[in-house]
Structure 1
Amino acid sequence: MPNDFLSPADQAAAEQQQRLLAAQVVRHDQLPTTIRTVAGVDVAYAQHSDQLVAAAVLLDAATLEIRHTAVVRLGAAFPYIPGLFSFRELPPIQQALAQLPEAPDLVICDGQGLAHPRRFGLACHLGVATGLPTIGCAKTRLVGSYHALGHPRGSTAELVLDGEVVGQALRTQPGINPLFVSIGHRVSLATACHWVLRCAPTYRQPETTRAADHLVNQELHRLLAAALPPAPDGM
C-alpha cells in the first residue's frame, strides 16, 4: 500500500481514501484450510504525549496459549480524529506484527471493521494493507442500531446501518454486555462471530484482545515510570 494511504494530507483526504479502499475489502471467507494461529492487536496512547504503544500477540488457535509477543512505540503521524483512528494506529500495529516470527493465520483487532461510517475501520484497513484475514471486535458501538439480544452466551443481533447489516452484537458471556463484531478483510461475518466466540471462552473479551491490552498497558506503565522525576532524598 502506498505511503500516502497511511499519511493523508488532511481529514478530507483521509475520508476519501477510506471510501476508495473500502471497495478492496473482501467480505467472504478466504482463510487457510486450517487456522493454527490467531493474533490480537491493540494500541494505547501515552498521556500528554504523541507516543503510541502497539502490541501484537500470537496465540495458538487451539489452546489460546501465547506463542509470541511484540511491542512497538511510535510517534503519532496523524491527528486524533474520530473515524480516522486507523491512520494513527496502523503504522505501529504493522511494525508489531512484522516483529512476530511468523504471520498469523487470522487477526482480531480491538476496533471496528465494516461497522464504520465509511465501511473502513481499523480491521479493514489492516487487512487491506497486509492481506491478512482480519476481524473487527469492538467493546462499544460506533454506528448502526440493533435489537435486544438473548442473555445466553452466543446470542446475536444484527447491527444495521442505512439498511445494511454491517456487523453483529455478540454476547460472549451470559448476561454480559455484547461485543460488536464486524468483517475486517477475507472473513465473513458468520466466521468472524465464530472466532470471536471461540477466543472468548471465559471472559467478555477474546483472549487475543486481553493479551494485547495487557502488553500495551505494561508498556505505558514503563513509559510513565521513566517520565516521573526522581523522588527527593529521604522519601
Structure 2
Amino acid sequence: MYEHLIKLQKRLAEKLVICPYENDIKLVAGVDVSFNKNSNIGFCSVVILDNKFNIIEVGFHKMEVKLPYIPGLLSFRELPLIVNTFKKMKNIPDIIICDAQGTAHPRGLGLASHLGIVLKIPTIGCAKNKLVGDFVAPPDKKGGYSILQYKGKTVGIVLRTKVGCNPVFVSPGNLIDINSSLAVIMKYVGKYKLPEPTRLAHIYSNKLRRNEI
C-alpha cells in the first residue's frame, strides 16, 4: 500500500551528504512532534537555542495528519508539520536536532535525514529508542558510546549522556557525519538525558497539545 513511499525514501537516501561539520555553531534547533491518543491532530514545536542554552525563539504549528503511524515511514507523517513550523521561524539555525532517526533507518532515511534534505540544513537524529541495528552496551559514563551497526555498516552510535540512564541513539541526518553528530549532541547535553534543544521542544509540543500555550 505504501510501496511508493518506500521507493521515494530509497531515492532520497541517495541524495544524502554525510560529511564532517566544520562551521561554527551559533544557533541550534530542537524539534518535537506530539499527538493525543487516537487523534490525527499533530502538534509541533521548534526551539532555537544559543550556545549558552538561552532560548532565542520558539515556534509552533498544529494540523491534521492523514497518514497513520507506520514504522519506517515516520517522516511522511510528521514532515509537513515540521516544515510548516520552520516557515514561521524568524531565525535560521545552524543545526537541527530531531527526536528521531537519521541514517539509522531501514532505508537510511529517517525523519532527521528527510528533514535535512528538504530544508538543506545540517540535521542530527537523537532518538530515545533503536529502530534498526546491533550494538553492545556503551560504558556507563557520560559520553560513553558504542557503535550501532546495521547490515554490516556503521549507521550511528549508542550514546550514554548521563550515568545510570538508558542511552540515546545518535545518527547523522544530512550534511554532517557521525563524529560531528556526537560532538554536537554532547555539546548540548545539560543535566538531563536528552540534549536541551529536543528536551525543551518536547516540553513545548506537549504544552501546545494540552492547550497550555
Matches within 5 A, 1:80-159: 80-159=69-148
| Residue in structure 2 matched with residue 16 of structure 1 by the alignment | 7
Give the superposition deviation at 1:48.
Answer: 2.5
State the distance in 2 between where 1:48 and 1:187 align: 36
Structure 1 length-normalised TM: 0.87
Q: Map Cα deviations across residues 44-82 of structure 1 (whole Å, 9 max, x no partner).
A: 11222210001111100x201111001100110322211
Structure 2 length-normalised TM: 0.96
| Residue in structure 2 matched with residue 227 of structure 1 by the alignment | none
Please tell me whether Structure 1 or Structure 2 has the larger radius of gyration of its CA atoms.
1
State the distance in 1 between where 2:68 and 2:165 align: 34
Note if 1:49 corresponds to 2:39. yes
**Secondary structure at the counterpart of residue 222 of structure 1:** coil
Gaps of 5+ in 1: 1-9, 224-235
> Is contact 2:99–2:127 with CA below 8 Å preserved after alignment?
yes
Aligned partner letter, 2:19: H
Matches within 5 A, 1:176-187: 176-187=165-176
Give the superposition deviation at 1:199.
Answer: 0.8
> Is contact 1:58–1:100 with CA below 8 Å preserved after alignment?
no
Q: Map Cα deviations across residues 106-146 of structure 1 (whole Å, 9 max, x no partner).
A: 00000000000000000000000110100000000110010
Aligned partner letter, 1:27: I
State the distance in 2 between where 1:163 and 1:136 align: 20
Matches within 5 A, 1:27-46: 27-30=18-21, 33-46=23-36
Percent identity of paired positions between Structure 1 and Structure 2:
37
